[in-house]
Structure 1
Amino acid sequence: MGVSTSTAEPGIAVVTVDHPPVNALPVQGWYDLAGALRAAGADPEVRCVVLTAAGRGFNAGVDIKEMQRTPGHDALVGANRGCYEAFAAVYDCEVPVVAAVQGFCLGGGVGLAGNADAIVASDDATFGLPELDRGALGAATHLSRLVPPHLMRTLYYTSRTVTAAELHRHGSVWQVVPRGRLRAAVMELAREIAAKDGRLLRLAKAAINGIDPVDVRRSYRFEQGFTFEANLSGLSDRHRDAFVSPRNLPSKDAGR
């Protein structure tokens, strides 16, 4: 349980997240994931990293229960910094990162998948940001890498999800396969990438990142500032409490 790294085949490192029941990571889990991704990318023998997860879903974001049971703002600050590090580690990984997404990919999961170089998804995969329902803001930066701008806004404001098949039509998911074939499909793509010259792959990754129209690190950090504003106003706690204990749902006019 936790974050582990294995060598599936020569040149391919597989970083796996396993944090039951829904892979909602605690603060340390985000830092562990960031460290594993950076270490895999720095290994000169690695030419492609596969980011995958055990269980029924890819990632459900941060561990809100940890946040609510921790006095003060240490868990909030830690989760924000940890997410920032993990998302950046995917993006900055020295070699291409292929995300294997099954089931739900929510909140922080979108941050991870949105910063990957390629996504292979199971046909039951869904992507979304329930941030507004959880008293948070963020990862619109990464959702905007998966869908067109106006769709991103509608999904963000409504907290709706989008299917892997829909993302495939938009071109952001490389392939959609039955869940039972996900591992084989992601390895096929990773194998094709890893067959290239490792030094050229590293140069290519740096070059492609360098021509991105949006600096994903700065853009996400800007978003996080509004999350802190929501927390300081007390808005976030009300929504997180409601998530942890549905009986505490705010009234319909709570946000007026």
Structure 2
Amino acid sequence: MAVSTSTPDKGVAVVTVDFPPVNALPVQGWYDLATALRAAGADPEVRCVVLAAAGRGFNAGVDIKEMQRTTGHDALIGANRGCYEAFAAVYECEVPVVAAVQGFCLGGGIGLVGNADAIVASDDAVFGLPELDRGALGAATHLARLVPQHLMRTLYYTSRTVSAEELHRHGSVWQVVPRDELAASALELAREIAAKDGYLIRLAKAAINGIDPVDVRRSYRFEQGFTFEANLSGVADRHRDSFVTGRSQDDNEREEER
């Protein structure tokens, strides 16, 4: 399990996440990802970063099993802070970030790609926030950067997913390609960006972030407060237990009564 960085082309760094089996990141994984992204962006030789993932899916969010087997609130606080740092590292990376997305992109994955500068996706990629089904709230900030407002709300309330092709129609996914062409297509876009003047591309990234209508860090931090409220109420634990055990919340409650 690791976050690694490679430089396959001049001016391009590829940060790859690999946490089998589904790229559900533990607390330390989010911090490691943030560190790798910030380091890549700070490298004066790098002009574009590709954020990629190994395995069958891009990202399945936080490691809920780690959270449920950890007593107290340390894992919950760690996951929230780690996600906050990783999402911010994508957004604040000094150079453009191209997300290369395959398979599932869920929960924290939305936070990553929603803050990316461009998205290339495989034709089997799906995007969604199952947060309400997992006893959490958050990343509506980032989903709202991918789809129109009312679609964002419907997806959030229902925990449904949306296809890469539909996001392409909305203009948030740059290109949809067969899975075996994903890496090459993402690199092709990164090379085009990296061919620009390194000083100017950094100025461009700072300028575009500066005119964003929503402060993504502040907006996401606001959302996170409601996750803590859900946890303190006990409802979050019940939903996470149901996910870990594979049993419905009603079944777990009946077991507790016995």
* Residue 171 of structure 2 is aligned to residue 171 of structure 1: yes
Tell me the SS of whatever aligns to 2:250: coil
Tell me the SS of whatever aligns to 1:99: strand
Cα distance in 1 for residues equivalent to 2:191 and 2:101: 17
- 1:115-151 CA-partner distances (Å, limit 9, x unpaired): 0000000000000000000000000000000000000
Deviation at 1:246, TM superposition (A): 1.9
Aligned to 1:35: 35
Cα distance in 2 for residues equivalent to 1:243 and 1:230: 16
Deviation at 1:8, TM superposition (A): 1.0
With the length of structure 1 as denominator, give the TM-score of the two structures: 0.97
Cα distance in 2 for residues equivalent to 1:250 and 1:7: 50
Cα distance in 1 for residues equivalent to 2:2 and 2:154: 34
Aligned to 2:91: 91
Paired residues for 1:1-256 under 5 Å: 1-250=1-250
Matched AA of 1:174? W
Tell me the SS of whatever aligns to 1:147: coil
Deviation at 1:248, TM superposition (A): 4.8
Q: Percent identity?
A: 85
Tell me the SS of whatever aligns to 1:124: coil
Matched AA of 1:217? R
Compute the RMSD of aligned alpha carbons.
1.2
Deviation at 1:250, TM superposition (A): 2.9
Deviation at 1:168, TM superposition (A): 0.1
Equivalent pairs counted in the alignment come to: 253
**Contact 1:239 1:250 survives alignment (8 Å):** no
Deviation at 1:35, TM superposition (A): 0.1
Cα distance in 2 for residues equivalent to 1:193 and 1:8: 15
Tell me the SS of whatever aligns to 2:71: coil
**Contact 1:27 1:75 survives alignment (8 Å):** yes
Cα distance in 2 for residues equivalent to 1:74 and 1:177: 40
Cα distance in 1 for residues equivalent to 2:125 and 2:248: 30
With the length of structure 2 as denominator, give the TM-score of the two structures: 0.97
Cα distance in 2 for residues equivalent to 1:182 and 1:156: 27
Matched AA of 2:56? R
5+ residue gaps in structure 2?
Answer: none
Cα distance in 2 for residues equivalent to 1:250 and 1:158: 19
Matched AA of 1:58? F
Matched AA of 1:195? A
Cα distance in 1 for residues equivalent to 2:173 and 2:76: 31
**Contact 1:238 1:250 survives alignment (8 Å):** no
Cα distance in 2 for residues equivalent to 1:248 and 1:181: 39
Cα distance in 1 for residues equivalent to 2:248 and 2:192: 51
Deviation at 1:247, TM superposition (A): 2.5
**Contact 1:13 1:46 survives alignment (8 Å):** yes
Cα distance in 1 for residues equivalent to 2:144 and 2:153: 9
